[in-house]
A and B are shown apart, each in its own frame.
Chain A
Amino acid sequence: MAGSAGRATALQWRRFRFPQSLIGHGAWIAVLAFLAFSVDHLEIPLERIPDMLGRMWQVLASRYYPPDLAYILDRDYLDYVVETIQMAYLGALFGLLLSVLLGWFGSFNMTPSRRFVYPVARLFTMGFRAVHEMIWAILFVSILGFGMLPGVLALTFFCAGFAGKLFAEEIEAIDMGPVEAMRAAGANLFQTVVFGVFPQVRVAFTGISIYTWDVAFRAATVVGFVGAGGMGWYLKRAVLQIETERVAAIILSIVALVIVSEIVSAYARDRVMRMK
């Protein structure tokens, strides 16, 4: 008797049981309800969305075409393009150097001290990430004045936060076996990182670095908006002067540069993936 009763209960199985099922369904309902509430509250005119594309095309054709290509082939403008690339390069380079340290110190398994260095490194990484690159740019422009330096610093902070977190996650995911072996051989922490950790994360770090460069370059094209150097300044000026054909040309040049950068990064990433 007892045996058959036990079997009857054991044969019952449901994926969702009472408290979890309530929480799960409740969460979905909450998401949908908030969506409806937001659309309603913001009075988003949904009926205008269907003919949005047509109107966009009209505006583009009448005001932004033809793009003023002579403007972006101008010597002064091309200097700014080069400046943008240099800014992105310096920002990504310094940011990545900083983020290697942040990643090491902010990884729970390899940090020199879990009680002190780890939380400090995490705090810095979080701080760099929490603030948008444009806000950093505004901040540094107000401290240092117009020019490239605030742009480079903003990008450095942005890259350090961006890559620092990813690096730390990579280090936390390594196989600790080699680390243990290096410790057992009498290696210090630095040597353990060089031999036990770095070979395991090298490929991932390279991939993340290329990705970081990508993002940094796109950010570099717009930090000029607030006076932090690069072609963003040109874009802003053209927008303010309602020189729409120049705006079109500048946006075209940004798109072209980002595409070139993407192609180069995709090629590099592909090579890294196949790297031993």
Chain B
Amino acid sequence: MPILEVRELRARYTSSGPEILKGVSFEVEADDFFAIIGPSGAGKSTLIRCINRLVEPTAGSIHFYGTDVTTLPGRQLRILRRDIGMIFQEFNLINRMSVMDNVLSGRLGYTGNVRTLFRAFPRADIERALELLQRVGLQDHVDKRADELSGGQRQRVGIARALMQGPRLMLLDEPTSALDPKISREVMGLIKTMAEEFGVPCLCNIHDVRLAMEFCNKIIGLQDGVKMFDGPTGEMDQAKLDQIYAMEVL
């Protein structure tokens, strides 16, 4: 039973603009660490943002644990988003806030407006944040401002923030593209360990094919909004990669 079913997904940003996704379908199982690879402009980011509707798909359906995501109205959509953690290429931390507040912001979907205004998060959330910060190795940086941290440390805050939601799915949008190769590997390793520990399936945009092959159990190859490959990592080979990235040769 797949936890996420995407059927014939289509998306375009403006009604007259080019179609970014041209009918993509796939399924994610409960224990998957799914990679989406493909050249720049293939629609990887758009695809991942359609799943929590940061981008509105124009056609197709997305079922998350049986709920059709595409038709949810505002309030239910926010409740759904609480279940989907997201990690970003540029970290998207609040630079002028402390590491602690950044991690706590993952709980906003569960927090009332008045508590939000005074940043008065419940005791349990604060304890959970401290635990997670310890797990990602930032226990000594709790009160630092987010922009005082290095790139790798910032992404660790991003990981803690996403896990703070207690997600049932994690969307990773190029989580290592802004990091150097060594740190990239560490961060991917951390994400994978945490995902396994918390039992969270992941859907990961990544353009570093070697990292994808190393950490992910399934791969989707996307080219110009069309799915070119979908299968276990073992079935991916150089010929198929060349086909997916053929656009870049031209």
Interface residues of A (CB under 8 A from B): 177-178, 180-188, 190-191, 194-196, 199-200, 202, 276
Contact = CB atoms under 8 A, between A and B. Distances in A.
Contact of A276 (B90, B96, B101): B96
A181 B81 contact: no
A178 B93 CA distance: 6
Contacts of B88: 177, 180-181
Interface stretch (B14-22, B60-68, B110-118): B110-118
Interface string B82-107: 10111010111111110001000111
B240 interface: no
B97 A184 contact: no
Given A180-B54, A180-B88, A276-B145, A186 B94 contact: no
B92 A190 contact: no
B145 A187 contact: no
Given A190-B113, A191-B113, A194-B116, A185 B161 contact: yes
B209 interface: no
A194 B107 CA distance: 14
Interface in B163-180: 165, 171
B94 A185 contact: no
15 contacts: A177-B92, A178-B95, A181-B86, A181-B161, A185-B82, A186-B109, A186-B110, A187-B116, A190-B116, A191-B108, A191-B116, A195-B101, A199-B94, A199-B97, A276-B145
Contacts of B81: 183-186
A191 B111 contact: yes
A200 B81 CA distance: 24
A184 B106 CA distance: 9
Task: Indicate the member of B79, B88, B94, B101 with the most A CB atoms within 10 Å.
Answer: B94
Contacts, number: 80
The A interface is mostly helix, strand or loop, or mixed, namely helix
Contacts of B54: 180, 183-184
A187 B109 contact: yes
B143 to A, nearest CB: 12
A185 B97 contact: no
Given A184-B86, A195-B108, 11 more contacts: A178-B93, A181-B92, A181-B161, A182-B105, A183-B54, A184-B52, A184-B81, A185-B86, A186-B109, A195-B101, A276-B145
A184 B117 contact: no
Contact of A182 (B80, B108, B117, B145): B108
Contacts of B91: 177
Which 3 residue pairs of A and B lie closest in terms of their CB atoms, listed nearest first?
A: A186-B109, A177-B92, A187-B108
B179 to A, nearest CB: 16
Nearest to B111: A191
Contacts of B93: 178, 181
Given A178-B94, A199-B96, A202-B96, A188 B113 contact: yes
A200 B92 CA distance: 12
B78 interface: yes
Nearest to B82: A186
